[in-house]
Amino acid sequence: MNRGRTALLSLTALLGTALTALPAEADEVEQIRNGTFDGTTDPWWVSNVTAALSDGRLCADVPGGTANPWDAAVGQNDLTLVKGESYRFSFTASGAPAGNAVRAIVGLSQAPYDTWFEVKPQLSVSGDAYAYTFTSPVDTAQGQVAFQLGGAAQAWRFCMDDVSLLGGVPPEPYEPDTGPRVRVNQVAYLPTGPKNATLVTDATEALPWQLKSAEGAVLARGRTVPRGGDVSSGQNVHSIDFGSHRARGKGLTLVADGETSRPFDIDAAVYEQLRLDALKFYYTQRSGIEIRDDLRPGYGRPAGHVGVAPNQGDANVPCRPGVCDHTLDVTGGWYDAGDHGKYVVNGGISTWELLSTYERALHARTGRPGPLRDGTLAIPESGNKVPDLLDEVRWELEFLLRMQVPDGEPLAGMAHHKMHDEQWTGLPLLPSDDPQKRELHPPSTQATLNLAATAAQAARLYRPYDRAFAARALTAARKAWTAALAHPEMYADPNDGIGGGAYADSDATDEFYWAAAELYLTTGERQFERHIVTSPVHTADIFGPLGFDWARTAAAGRLDLATVPNRLPGRDRVRQSVIKGADRYLATLKAQPYGMPYAPDGNLYDWGSNHQVLNNAVIIATAHDLTGAGKYRDGALQSMDYVLGRNALNISYVTGYGEVGAQNQHSRWYARQLDPALPNPPRGTLAGGPNSSIQDPYAQSKLQGCVGQFCYIDDIQSWSTNELTINWNAALARMASFVADQG
C-alpha cells in the first residue's frame, strides 16, 4: 500500500495533466500499426521470447525464471503522442496457464524509459478484452507500447490481438451507482447518540422528512436544513437531524424529497460486533502460521513464508545486496496490506493504536476491558488467560523485535525499515504460493524509534501477564533509543519501492518525541522527561487537517501523555492541546454537510482518507475521555456515520456492514473478484477510501477529474483507493471500541 509505490510513481506525472485536461478535439487517430496481425508480426519487436502468428494472433512463449517483468517482452516503438490528448489503449490477451499477469505499458522507448500509463491484468486461458483511457503528459515521437511478460517462475504462453492506441478519444465517463439520494449510516445509530443524514437535492428550500419503521409506520418527522453546495462532493445537499428519536429499532428508513434511504438500525449492539470483527481481521493477516478454517470459516490457508516451496521463507532473510552481511529470522508479524511485505513503521503505528485501544479500556471513564478479554477473538492463543487483543498484537511485536540489528553487527540496535519480496507479485497470490526472494532493507531512524515506542508501551501492558517478555521488550526499546540517538538522520530511500512500498519520511522529530513519551510513561525516568519537554514537537500544533498516520506520529505521544497516568510537568497543557485539537476537528465536522472531521487542503483527499477521518475522530473521542463533555462524544459518534454509509457514494467502506458496502479491497489473497475459489476480505475490513491522486491505472481509467469523495472505486485493481491495511483497520478498531463503550 501507500505512497511509497515508486514502481508506479511515474504515473503521478500523468496525474497532474489528467485531472485538468479537457477532452481532445482532434479526430480519432490510430497510433498502432498492424495491431490485428494480418499475416505478419511487423513492426512488432520481441525480447527474450519466441513469438509467431497463431490463429490470427501474436503468440509468445515466455521462459520461466526471469526476475523482472521487462526481462521478456513484446512491443512496438516510434509512436506519436500529443500532450494533453486522451487515448484509448485496448487489446485482447490470454495466458496459459491461467493466472499469469502481463504488464501492459505506454511509455518512452528510450532511456530513461518513462512510463506514462500501465496496467497489470491477470489473464485467463479463454482470453479477455481490456480497454483503458488516459491522457498523455508529453509530446513525443518516441512512444512505445509494450507487453512485459517476465517475472514468472514457470514458462507460459501469451497471445494477443486487436491492439489499439486510439488518439482523440475523450475519457470514458464513469458514473457510480449511488442509490437513493438520502444518505445515512447504513449500520446503526446509538439510541442516545446523534442521528444525522444528508439529502442530495437541487431544492433550495427546506423539505419535509419522515423516519419510518420497517413496517412503514411514521416514527418521527421534521424538515431538512439546506446546506448549499458541498465542496467535498460537488453536490447540493440538505442536512437531516433526527436525534430526538431515541427508541430502538431495526430496518428503519428515512424518506425525503421522494427518496427512501437504505435501511439502518437504532441500536448499540452492532458496535460490539464491529469492535471484534475489526480486531479479528489481524489473525487472517498473520504471516508464518497456518490460518485455521475452524477459527475463520472460509479463510483457512497454509502458513505463508515459512520456507515451504515455493516460498523462500522468512527464517533466514538476507539484506538487499550491499546493505549488510547478516541474515535475520523475521518470521511472524502481519502482512502489511494487500501484498506480502512487512514494514516496521506501518507495523509500529498499527501496534500502538491497537495497544492504545486496550490501554484506553483500562483508564478512560467509559473504558471497558471486559470485551477485550481472553477468548473474545477466537485466535489460537484464546484460553491462555491473556487478553486476546494483547495476544494478537504480540504476534506483530515479536516480528518488530526480530527486525532489530543484532549486537556485534554494524548499526546494532537499529531496526531494519522493512522486508518484502525482491519484486512486486501479481494478483491473486496466496502467501504460501509466493516464490519471490525475501530481502531486508536498510535500517532507518524512524523504524528504530517505532520499535522503541511500541516495545516500551508493550513493556507496561504485558507486565501483568508475562514479566519476561515485558523485560525483553523494554531492553529492546532502550537499545533502539540509544541507537537512534547515535543515528538521528538515517532515513529510508524514497526510491526504494520495488517489491514493496518505500514508506519514506525525512523528519524523525515526531518519532523521537513519541518514543520518548512511551519510554517515560513506562519508566518515569528523567532522561526521557527532558527529551519530551525540550522537544519542539511538545508545544507544536500537531493536529492538522490530515491528522496522524505512520509518517506523522507526534499525536501518538501527545495522546498517551494526556491519557496514561503520569507526572509529567505541565501535563495539563498537554491535555488542553488535545482538547484544542478536538475543537478544531469538531468545527470541521459541523461545517461539513456529510458530517466528518476531515477537510483536506484544496479538497485533495489523501491516500487512506477513511482512516484519517477515523483518526481525527480519535482526537475528538479522547477529548471526551478527558472532559466528559457530550459534544465530543457526539462528534466522535457522528464521525463513524461517514465510513458506514453517510457519504457521497452512499457506500459503507467496511466489509459486511451496511446494505451496500465495499467488498473488493485490493489484496492478493482476499481476491474473489479475480478467483471465485478465494474469499472477499473478511467482515470488518476498512477500505482505504477516496484518494484524489488516483495513482493506480484502473482508477485513472475511471476517475479522471473526480471531486473529493468521488475519487474511489470498489475494485481489486485500485490499490490507491481500495486497498486494506493494518493501520487503517487499527483506526476502525479503536473507534468501533469507543462507540461500543458508549452504548
What amino acid positions are annotated as catalytic residues?
339, 666, 714, 723
Supply the DSSP symbol for 522.
H
What type of residue is 43?
Answer: P
Amino acid at 452: A
Asked whether the beta carbons of 561 and 633 are under 8 A apart, the reply is no
Do residues 88 and 701 lie in contact, with contact meaning Cβ atoms separated by under 8 Å? no
Return the residue matching grid coordinates 552481511.
325
Instruction: Pick the closest to residue 104 from 165, 37, 184 (CA basis).
Output: 165
Q: Order of strands, edge to edge, in the sheet holding 342-343?
A: 342-343, 418-421, 438-440
Q: Name every residue whose Cβ is closer than 8 Å to that of residue 601 and which is 6 or more positions away in sequence.
A: 545
Region of 275 (left: φ > 0; alpha: ψ -120 to 50; beta: rest) is alpha
Encoded amino acid at 412, one letter = A
Nearest-angstrom CA–CA distance, 360 and 366: 9
Q: 467 Cβ partners below 8 Å, 6+ apart?
A: none
Q: Is the peptide bond before 43 cis (omega within 30 degrees of 0)?
A: yes
Number of H helices, E strands in the chain: 15, 28
Distance of alpha carbon 240 from alpha carbon 184, whole angstroms: 10
Integer angstrom CA distances of residue 546 from 555, 559, 602, 606, 692: 12, 16, 12, 8, 14
Nearest to 163 by CA among 293, 30, 47: 30
CA distances from 185 to 198, 525, 590, 628 (A): 10, 46, 17, 25
Cell of 151: 517475472
Residue 580: which of 562, 560, 553 has the closest Cα? Answer: 562
d(CA 10, CA 115): 6
d(CA 256, CA 705): 30
HEC string of 6-35?
HHHCCHHHHHHHHCCCCCCCCCCEECCCCC
| The amino acid at 718 | S
Q: Is 253 helix (H, G, I), strand (E, B) or coil?
A: strand
Burial class (CB in 10 A: 0-12, 13-18, 19+), 320: middle
**Helical spans, DSSP H, in 487-525:** 509-523
Q: Which of 398, 394, 399, 436 is nearest to 418 (CA)?
A: 399
Q: For CA atoms 670, 606, 122, 73, give the dihedral sign.
A: negative
- Strands 182-183 and 196-200, sheet pairing: antiparallel
Beta bridge partners of 301: 291
Cell numbers 431538512: residue: 224
CB burial readout 664-698, b (16+ within 10 A) else e: bbbbbbbbbbbbeebbbbbbbbbbbbbbbbbbbbb
264-266 and 188-189 strand pairing: parallel
317 beta partners: 328
Q: Which residues contact 718 (CB under 8 A, 6 or more apart)?
A: 666, 696, 698, 699, 712
